[in-house]
């Protein structure tokens, strides 16, 4: 009787030892490793009570498709959270006298396509268009204000009315325009202060308006404007060139005059894509003169007509 109980106790101790040994063994192997999307899981089988042994643990390699329901539900959220990032465009408006009114049509097309314009710059009368647009980001308001200028000789009254009590600090987006100070022989990029005092330094010329406080418009330094716009956050720079010509001709009557050379030099430097510019939109206005202010409405409409195809292509290119 005692021997029988002893044998039973021994059997129980043996079984307990086996179970304990398996637990220790399985404790070491019950791990999950990860190597990319592939996972390895070790499964502990039940004890075989007949022969007091343990089956060999089996290893299952899970494929990437073997995910839990929680993981499946989580995956689309990750992909949807990656929002599309659109470029930030900086627009440079060239000078051109009355031809600068074509920029109004370009702005209308930009608004139709909902371009994300983050900053603007302008040469000569293109600077007036840029400054007006920076105030409210409205092409219609730019058109309304620019329509009030009837004669270039009365530019000063126009500037005072259009930019009365308006500061660069109040603008919706950054604005800059270049000016050459004749006495100091230096070019300045103007982007701070009262617009009624700042813009005149950028529109002065030897043809349409006289130099203002010994300062005239700069028509050639596109790279500096491009660099400045990038510093404000723009990562794509678009130059709108209204001095483009299909047939080369004089901008003023006297072909060899200093005035005409000033305009020709500006047109020549914009004929090829300047340094720092990503895209150029050429507006060919051969049928109009730089002094055709009385045709400003037609010029604005022409600007919209000629820029629309190029802007649509660029919108598709940049995913707008």
Q: Is the pTM of this model over 0.85?
A: no
Across the chain, mean pLDDT equals 80
**Cα distance between residue 245 and residue 318, in whole Å:** 27
Please state, as a whole number, how many other Cβ atoms lie within 10 Å of the Cβ of residue 214.
Answer: 12
Angle at Cα 217 formed by Cα 213 and Cα 219, nearest 5°?
Answer: 160
**DSSP per position, 264-320:** HHHHHHHHSPPTT-SEEEE---TT--TT-GGGHHHHHHHHHHHHHHHHHHHHHHTT-
Give per-residue pLDDT as tens, 104-130: 999 999 999 999 999 999 999 999 999
Q: How far is CA 235 from the centre of its chain?
A: 5
Q: Which residue has the tokens 């990319």?
A: 36
Per-residue pLDDT of the chain (320 residues; tens, 9 = 90+): 444 444 444 454 444 444 444 443 444 434 444 444 433 333 333 434 444 443 433 333 334 444 444 444 444 444 444 567 889 999 999 999 999 999 999 999 999 999 999 999 999 999 999 999 999 999 999 999 999 999 999 999 999 999 999 999 999 999 999 999 999 999 999 999 999 999 999 999 878 888 888 999 998 899 999 999 999 999 999 999 999 988 888 888 888 888 888 899 999 999 889 999 999 999 999 999 999 999 999 999 999 999 999 999 999 999 88
Do 133 and 105 contact (CB within 8 A), yes or no? no
Answer for the pair 140, 109: CB distance below 8 angstroms, yes or no: no
* H-helix or E-strand spanning residue 38: strand 38-43
Assess contact for 163 and 131: CB atoms under 8 A. Answer: yes
């Amino acid at each position: 009787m005692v021997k029988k109980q002893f044998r039973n106790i021994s059997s129980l101790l043996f079984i307990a030892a086996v179970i304990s040994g398996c637990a220790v063994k399985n404790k070491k192997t019950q791990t999950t490793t990860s190597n990319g999307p592939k996972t390895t899981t070790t499964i502990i089988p039940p004890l075989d009570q007949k022969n007091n042994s343990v089956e060999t643990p089996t290893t299952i390699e899970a494929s990437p498709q073997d995910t839990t329901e929680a993981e499946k539900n989580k995956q689309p959220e990750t992909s949807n959270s990656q929002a599309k990032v659109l470029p930030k465009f900086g627009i440079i408006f060239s000078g051109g006298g009355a031809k600068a009114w074509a920029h109004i049509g370009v702005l209308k097309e930009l608004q139709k396509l909902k371009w994300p314009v983050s900053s603007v710059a302008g040469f000569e009368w293109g600077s007036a268009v840029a400054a007006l647009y920076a105030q409210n980001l409205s092409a219609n308001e730019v058109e309304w204000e620019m329509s009030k200028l009837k004669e270039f000789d009365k530019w000063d009254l126009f500037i005072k009315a259009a930019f009365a009590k308006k500061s660069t600090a109040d603008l919706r987006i950054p604005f800059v325009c270049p000016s050459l100070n004749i006495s100091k022989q230096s070019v300045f990029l103007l982007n701070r202060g009262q617009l009624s005092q700042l813009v005149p330094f950028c529109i002065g010329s030897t043809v349409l308006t006289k130099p203002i406080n010994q300062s005239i418009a700069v028509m050639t330094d596109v790279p500096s404007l491009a660099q400045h716009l990038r510093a404000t956050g723009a990562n794509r720079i678009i130059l709108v060139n209204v001095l483009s010509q299909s047939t080369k001709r004089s901008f003023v009557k006297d072909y060899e005059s200093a005035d005409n050379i000033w305009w020709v030099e500006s047109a020549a430097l914009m004929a090829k894509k300047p340094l720092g510019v990503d895209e150029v939109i050429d507006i060919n206005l051969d049928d109009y003169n730089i002094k055709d202010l009385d045709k400003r409405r037609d010029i604005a409409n022409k600007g919209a007509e000629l820029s629309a195809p190029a802007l649509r292509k660029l919108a598709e290119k940049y995913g707008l």
